[in-house]
Amino acid sequence: MSLASRKQPELGLVDGRLRPCPHSPNCVCSEWPQQGAFIEPLVFTTTASEAWRLAKQAITASGGEIVMEEGGYLHARYVTPILRFVDDLELRLDAAAQVIHVRSASRVGHSDLGANRKRVARLRAAFNP
């Protein structure tokens, strides 16, 4: 199963927004409030560039590897320590609304026992100390 988690999922923006979560509980996303997978975006009161810097710092400090960053979009990867499963974290900066939208999803399995929701909570705590 660990090999399957290395398969690159569909990521990135669709019509300027993060993709909605699939119908499994191993994903959370702030762009689609009507879904059960909804989680609040990261809210900032600093400049957008400072907020983006803090978010990147929080990702790397929590063990994430930033894979790609382009024009207010970021993709990071987390690998679980024992079974080496891969989870993907995506951020989208909305400077006008002063939020960073977030999507965190497991590549394999159905349930993640709340791991992605917890990851975003830790990111939020590091982002807003």
Domain spans in the chain, listed from the N-terminal domain onward: 23-127
Report the predicted TM-score, pTM, of the whole model to 2 decimal places: 0.88
User: What are the tens digits of pLDDT across the range 57-68?
Assistant: 999 999 999 999
In the predicted structure, residue 113 carries a pLDDT above the cut 80: no
Residue 3, pLDDT score? 47
Q: How confident is the model at residue 109 (pLDDT cuts 50, 70, 90)?
A: low
In the predicted structure, residue 90 carries a pLDDT above the cut 70: yes
User: What are the tens digits of pLDDT across the range 32-56?
Assistant: 887 789 999 999 999 999 999 999 9
121-125, long-range: CB < 8 A, 24+ apart: 122/62, 123/42, 123/55, 123/58, 123/59, 123/62, 123/89, 124/40, 124/42
- The class that CATH gives domain 23-127 is alpha beta
